Amino acid sequence: MRERRLHHAAVGAEALSGLRGIAIPLVVLAVVGGGGADRIVFFGLLGLAFAVVTAFVAWQTTRWSYGDGEVRLRRGLFSERITSVPFDRVQSIDTVRGPVQRLFGVVELHVQSAGGGSGGEIVLKAVTPADAAELRAAVADEADEPGAEPAAAAAEDPERSLTLSTRSLIVAALTSGSLAVLLPVVAGASQVLDDVLSEEQAEMFVPETWTDLALIVAAVVGFAWLLSFLGTIVAFAGFRATRDGDRIRIERGVVERRAATVPVARIHAVRIVESPLREPFGLAQVRIESAGYAQEPASAQTLVPIVRRRDAVEVIARLLPELAVPLDVLDRPPPRALRRFVLPPVVAGVVAAAVPVGLFGAVALPALAVPLAAAALGVGRYRAAGWRLDSRLVLRSRRLARTTSVADVHRLQRVTGAQSIPQRRAALGDLEVAVSSGRRLGVRHLERATVDDLVGRLAATAARPG
């Protein structure tokens, strides 16, 4: 088992990601300190030096090797950490080609282990193509060939692959905005305002009229939207998903080119997500729920970045026929469930609106739109709720985004039926199942008898091999 160093490009790659991590605090620090351009340059150089030194030390103290049936990574300056993944636990060897790696003609390798979680995997920042091929060959020899590159033929076959046109990419990016992006922007902006501006200067940003408030909100939303637009372009440019035998290969990204391979046997559910910006246009995104990928970011779990909802099943059938079932004919909760869906958000909305109205009086009356919106959301949740069980379990529900999930019943990890005290009076109940990625899928306020029946059938099927 020969111990190897990473290619020296690892220093650059590591420094770059280190720099990205400390960039925002550095900018804030430089701006808060005041003192103009030379100060900013000083802090910039300081950060750069820090990142490079850290990256160099990391490279110096990292060794990787393979042999004796495992891949090993040994690193650490003062305390040594050794991570080893047995070959037969290697789920796939994914690659990332960032700017630095491309400059030096090397690749970053992610050894994904089947155990799941981000802790079990090994990341090799820079490896020569020859070393990468050797590692793949060694793993493929011992295990069930998970290391092998897929045949080029599959990528050419339009029946089994999916690419994203420039137009689709732009549509995906335009509609990608979500609260998840908005919140850090608002938090960051208010933090910066707090740090940078004096009390009087900050006063200027306190809105005095509804128009001012609307302008500020529009500016923040616009900025968040721009960020998520760019983020989506960077993540999904050049997207290609290919079905190759018992694996799906997903390539994507422009600054960092990523290639991941997911064994189909480990994909136990798909979700068709219609986010609020996409639903009105009949658009959706398809995500996979796969064991071992639970800790990965959402973009890594995307099977189809953007698709017309009515085409979703057809596209899934191309890549993952195992989970392609019709989605539109669903059984629904009974009409008496409507108020159970509507009441909780409305109560929350009334409370949320009562506070500003109580504090500021009539000026805050527009806040009454909140309970109205909440009622609409409740109705939307009622109308979204649905299920069907035949060869696969189909569940549809809504938090904000309407989500339709298709799960392999034989692979369910847990099946739960629940009934709260008010539900007991109305003879209603909730159904929830958990899949191997850890995600829980559920539908609320179904007939009690339906829930009992489903729990029994699902548990019985899940307990048997399939």
Nearest distance in Å: CB 386, another protein? 9
Q: Applying CB under 8 A, does 420 fall inside the site for another protein?
A: yes
Binding mask 312-341 for another protein (x = CB under 8 A): -----------------xxxx---------
Among 315, 340, 437, 444, binds another protein (CB under 8 A): 437
Query: What length does the chain have?
Result: 466
DSSP 163: E
Quick one: tokens of 304? 């189809």
Q: Based on CB atoms, which residue is closest to another protein, 171 or 248?
A: 248
Q: Applying CB under 8 A, does 149 fall inside the site for another protein?
A: no
φ/ψ bin of 105: left (φ > 0), alpha (ψ from -120 to 50), beta (otherwise): left
Pairing of strands 402-407, 393-398: antiparallel
The DSSP code sequence of 54-68 is: HHHHHHHT-EEEEET
**C-alpha count within 13 angstroms, C-beta hemisphere, residue 207:** 12
Among 93, 412, 428, 443, binds another protein (CB under 8 A): 412
Q: Please report, as residue ranges, which positions from 45 to 64 form the binding site for another protein (by CB under 8 A).
A: none
Nearest distance in Å: CB 61, another protein? 33
The answer to whether 70 and 84 are in contact (CB under 8 A) is yes
Nearest distance in Å: CB 382, another protein? 14
Q: Please report, as residue ranges, which positions from 248 to 307 form the binding site for another protein (by CB under 8 A).
A: 266, 291
> How many CB atoms within 10 Å of residue 266?
22
The answer to whether 233 and 227 are in contact (CB under 8 A) is no
Closest Cα to residue 62, out of 127, 136, 113? 127
Q: Please report, as residue ranges, which positions from 90 to 129 form the binding site for another protein (by CB under 8 A).
A: 114, 116
Give the CA dihedral 449, 452, 453, 455, nearest 10 degrees. 150
Among 415, 428, 443, 444, binds another protein (CB under 8 A): 415
CA 278 to chain centre: 17
Q: Applying CB under 8 A, does 419 fall inside the site for another protein?
A: yes
Q: Applying CB under 8 A, does 427 fall inside the site for another protein?
A: no
Q: Applying CB under 8 A, does 459 fall inside the site for another protein?
A: yes
Nearest distance in Å: CB 337, another protein? 14
Going 212 to 218 to 221 to 224, the CA torsion angle's sign is negative
Q: Give CA–CA dist 182/189, Å, rounded.
A: 11
194-202, 356-364, 376-384, 407-415 -> range binding another protein (CB under 8 A):
407-415
Q: Give CA–CA dist 405/395, Å, rounded.
A: 5
102-110, 254-262, 312-320, 435-443 -> range binding another protein (CB under 8 A):
435-443
Size of the site for another protein (CB under 8 A): 46
The DSSP code sequence of 266-303 is: GEEEEEEEE-TTTGGGTEEEEEEEETT-TTS-GGGGEE
Q: Applying CB under 8 A, does 343 fall inside the site for another protein?
A: no
Q: Applying CB under 8 A, does 414 fall inside the site for another protein?
A: yes
Q: Applying CB under 8 A, does 448 fall inside the site for another protein?
A: no
**β-bridge partners, 244:** 247
Among 63, 308, 383, 388, binds another protein (CB under 8 A): 388
Among 123, 255, 427, 460, binds another protein (CB under 8 A): 460
Nearest distance in Å: CB 417, another protein? 5
Q: Which residues bind another protein (CB under 8 A)?
A: 114, 116, 266, 291, 329-332, 388-389, 411-421, 423-424, 434-440, 447, 449-450, 452-460, 462-465
